Chain A
Amino acid sequence: MTAVTATVSGTSKAEADRLLVERVKAGDRAAFNALVLKYQQRVLKLVSRYVRDPEEAMDVAQEVFIRAYRAIHGFRGDSAFYTWLYRIAVNAAKNAIGAATRNPVEGGLDVDDPELGEVQRKMTDVSSPERLLYTEELKQTISSAIEELPPELRRAILLREIEGLSYEAIAEAMDCPVGTVRSRIFRARDAIAKRIKPLLE
C-alpha cells in the first residue's frame, strides 16, 4: 500500500451528529431514531460488558436511549455526542448492576441458590447461542460480501471503515480523484447492504 498521511475526519462526523441532535431538540423524533440506529450496536456492546444477561442488557440499552432523549436539551455539544451517550450508558449499566446486587431475590427465587443459579445459567445459555448465531451470521454475510467486491471497492471501504482515512487520504492512497473514492465507498456499502437486508428486517 502506498504510504499516506492518515487524516481521520472526526470533526465532520461530529458535525453530522450535531445536525441530528439539533433536529431532535426541535422535536424531530425520526432524527433521534437515526441516532439510535447509528449507535445501538456500540451501546448494546458496551452495556453487555457490564450486564451479562442478554435480555437485561437490552432493557438497559433501551433505558440509555430513553434517558438520552429526555436529557438531550441539556447536551450542549461540548463533547462528541457518543462521549455523552457513553457516560449515560456506563452509569445506567452500573446502576443496573447495583440494583441486582441490592435485590438478590427476584420473583421469589433466591438467585444465590446454587441449584437455581444453575437453572438460570442454563436458561441464559439457551438464549445466548441464538443471539450469538445471529451476530455470527451477520458478520459472515458481510465478510463474504466484501470478498466478492471488486478489489478497488473492497480497498476503498476497508481504508475508510477500518483505517478511518478521509476521502482525500484514500484518494491519495489509491491514486484517484476524491469523487471516485466517494463513489467506490458508496457502491461497496450498497452491495453489502443488499446482502444483509434480509437479516436486518
Chain B
Amino acid sequence: MSDLLREQLSSFMDGELPAEECELLVKRIAASGELSDSWHAYHVIGDALRDQLAPGSAQDLAPRVGRALDEQRPRRRSLRRFGTVAAAVAVLGLAGLAGALISRQIGTGQVFTPGGVNHQGGDSVHVNWRQAPSPVRSELNRYLLMHDPYGVTPQGLASENGSSTATAGAAGGAPGGGGREPYRH
C-alpha cells in the first residue's frame, strides 16, 4: 500500500481530503485490509491522545460485531429457504388433493364435460351446460352469482326459471343490465 494512499487516509479522517477524492478512498478502505488496519491504528492514536481509550481490548469489538452479523445472515437465508420449501410442499399438497378429487369423480362417473362450445366471434363463447349433472349446475350457479356484481341475488335466482345457457367472456355482464344469466334447471 502506497504512502500516498495512507496520506489520503490521514487527511480523510481529519476531514481535510478534497471531496472529489473521498468517494474513491472510502471504497478503498472498505476493500483493502491494510488500509483498514491503518484506519484503525490512526484512530486508536487519536483516541489515546484525547484520553478516549476504553479500559480493555476494544479492538476485539470489530471482529466480534463482524462475526455476529455473519451469523445472523445465514439464519435469514435458511428461513427464506424454509419458506420456499414450505410453499412448494403446499402447492404439491394442493395438486395431490385436486388429483385425488378428480380420481374419485372418475371412479363415480361424475366428471362433467360441456356438451358443446360455440365460438360466436369476438370475445364471446357460448357453452351449453344443459347436460351438466345437478351438483355441477349447482356449483356453476353459485360461482356465477358470487362473481357477477350485476347478477341477481340468490333469492332472485330461487324464483326464476327458463334460459338454459350461460354466456362467458368479456362481452357478458354489461353495467346496468342483468349481467351473466345464471344457469337454470
Contact A58 B61 (CB under 8 A): yes
Check A33/B36 contact, CB under 8 A, given A139-B48, A161-B46.
yes
Determine if B43 and A38 form an interchain contact, defined as CB atoms under 8 angstroms apart.
Answer: yes
* Bound-complex Cα distance A29 to B40 (A): 16
In contact, A196 and B30 (Cβ under 8 angstroms): no
From A160, which residue of chain B is reached at the shortest CB distance?
A: B14
Nearest Cβ on chain A to B67's Cβ, whole angstroms: 9
Which residue on chain A has the smallest CB distance to residue B27? Answer: A23
Judged by a CB distance under 8 angstroms, whether B115 is at the interface is: no
Q: Verify if B158 is at the interface (C-beta below 8 Å from A).
A: no
- A33 and B35 alpha carbons, distance in the complex (Å): 12
A176 at the interface (CB under 8 A from B): no
Query: Is B53 a contact of A19 with CB atoms below 8 Å?
Result: no
Does B49 sit at the interface, judged by CB under 8 A? yes
Residue A174 CB within 8 A of the other chain: no
**B66–A33 CB distance below 8 A:** yes
Looking at B12, B16, B39, B52, the one whose CB has the most chain A CB atoms below 10 A away is B16
Interface: B15 (CB within 8 A): yes
Stretch of B3-11, B122-130, B132-140, B144-152 on the interface side: B3-11
Tell which of B18-26, B77-85, B94-102, B171-179 binds the partner: B18-26
Q: Do A138 and B53 contact each other (CB < 8 Å), given the known contacts A20-B26, A42-B47, A66-B69?
A: yes
Chain A neighbourhood of B3, CB < 8 A: 186, 190
Contact B52 A45 (CB under 8 A): yes
| Cβ-defined contact, B46 with A62, below 8 A | no
Q: Are A138 and B56 in contact (CB under 8 A)?
A: no
Known: A182-B16, A189-B45. A42 touches B10 (CB 8 A): no
1/0 per position for A7-31, CB-CB distance to B under 8 A? 0011111111001100100001111
Tell whether B119 is near chain A: CB-to-CB under 8 Å. Answer: no
B45 touches A193 (CB 8 A): yes
Q: A66 is contacted by which of B22, B31, B42, B68 (Cβ under 8 Å)? A: B68
Query: What residues of A have a CB within 8 angstroms of the CB of B110 in the complex?
Result: none
- What is the interface size of chain B, counting residues whose CB is below 8 A from a CB of the partner? 51
> Of B15, B42, B49, B58, which one neighbours A12 at CB under 8 angstroms?
B15
Residue of B at shortest CB range from A194? Answer: B41
> In the assembly, what is the distance between CA of A77 and CA of B43, in Å?
22
* CB of B117 within 8 Å of the partner chain: no
Contact of B53 among A41, A66, A162, A186 (CB under 8 A): A41
- A16-B15, A40-B59, A200-B44 known; A30+B53 contact, CB < 8 A: no
Which residue of A10, A13, A41, A142 is within 8 Å of B58 (Cβ)? A41
- A9 CB → nearest B CB, Å: 4
Q: How far is the CB of A96 from chain B (nearest CB, A)?
A: 16
Task: Select the residue from A14, A19, A57 with max chain B CB neighbours within 10 A.
Answer: A19
Whether A193 contacts B38 by the Cβ 8 Å rule is: yes
For the complex of A and B, the 7 pairs showing the least CB-CB separation, nearest first, are A12-B15, A44-B54, A30-B30, A193-B41, A13-B15, A131-B56, A186-B10
Name 16 extra pairs, CB < 8 A, besides A36-B66, A200-B44.
A9-B15, A30-B30, A33-B66, A34-B29, A37-B36, A37-B40, A42-B47, A44-B56, A45-B54, A62-B61, A66-B65, A128-B55, A142-B48, A161-B45, A189-B45, A200-B59
